[in-house]
Chain A
Amino acid sequence: MSFDEIFTGLLRIQLWDIVKILLEIGLLIYVIFALIVIRQVDLMGHVIGIKLTPILRLLAVVHFFVSIGIFLLALFIL
């Protein structure tokens, strides 16, 4: 593949393709963040044992799975 072909191929990439790639990268980072939030709630709940901790942990887990769902959705529909 010559330099010209690569350059022409790059020019064919549209704006929305770039947006899609950036969104996917952003969502992947967000999924990692959501995973850290679960650990954060665990850590906080370990330090202070309060009644709402199981509910907050459930929320963190749901948040993590929703973020995975949106990541996969973006992967398929964009």
Chain B
Amino acid sequence: MPDVFVAKEKERQLKPTIQDERKGSFLSGFKSLSAFLEQPKWVTFETQNSDEEIILLLRKHVITNFLWLTLAVLLFFAPFFIPFFTPIFNLHSIPLRFQFIGLTLWYLFTFSFVFQNFLNWYYNVYIVTNRRVIDVDFFSLLYKHISDAPLERIQDVSYSMGGVPSAFFDYGNVFIQTAAEVPNFEFLAVPSPDRVVKTITQLMEERGIVLKGKTT
């Protein structure tokens, strides 16, 4: 009977095999590069409570990295054009050992530039859990700023999208207005801002919280 097969299929889906788990573990490394992660089980954060579940993990949209990535590509290929400028700037006069160290340094700086920009993008995240919203900001090398607000303190959630890239790649800013003693939140350039707003609103409704301006 067809129902029997459906039941088996459902059972298989609920209980993933060891291979599935390994595959998931391997793929999750790449999945973590996404700017919009729903219920990422493999992600934890510093102040997470044992019964707290991450519902959304957001970063700036991948396309916002376009500028520094383009610059990185230009930096990478720039030394290839040195021979064209050699006669103009008399680069022959530079000793070979200095040229070698100079080139090595150039690529070291290029790597550093890419690495710093990637780290900034990868670790500056916005987290929505079943209890609160969290904004994790890293400034310069060793300065971090983490702010959070419980869902109960949220008074209004809205979003805005503007400009061609934003409309084309579907990203925008989410604004979360909170009670006066808690700072307001701005999730900047996050993908699918409408879904973010919807998710936060749903979470608040599940907890019986009424948004400012809404009547039930």
Contacts and interface: CB of A to CB of B under 8 A. Distances in A.
B34 to A, nearest CB: 11
A21 interface: no
A40 B142 contact: yes
Interface in B24-64: 28-29, 32-33, 42-46
A49 interface: yes
B138 A70 contact: no
B136 A51 contact: no
Interface in B107-156: 108, 111-112, 115-116, 119, 122-123, 125, 136, 138, 141-142, 144, 146
B46 A63 contact: no
A1 interface: no
B33 A67 contact: no
Interface in B78-132: 95, 97-98, 100-101, 104-105, 108, 111-112, 115-116, 119, 122-123, 125
A46 B45 CA distance: 8
A13 interface: no
Contact of B108 (A43, A51, A67): A67
Nearest to A51: B29
Given A48-B136, A50-B32, A66-B108, A16 B98 contact: yes
Interface string A21-34: 00100110010011
A60 B46 CA distance: 21
| Chain A interface SS verdict (over half) | helix
Contacts of B142: 36, 39-40, 43
Contacts of A46: 46
A64 B29 CA distance: 24
Interface of A: 16, 19, 23, 26-27, 30, 33-34, 36-37, 39-41, 43-44, 46-52, 55-56, 59-60, 63, 66-67, 70, 73-74, 77-78
Interface of B: 28-29, 32-33, 42-46, 95, 97-98, 100-101, 104-105, 108, 111-112, 115-116, 119, 122-123, 125, 136, 138, 141-142, 144, 146
Given A43-B142, A47-B45, A70-B101, 7 more contacts: A40-B142, A43-B144, A44-B122, A44-B123, A48-B45, A51-B28, A70-B108
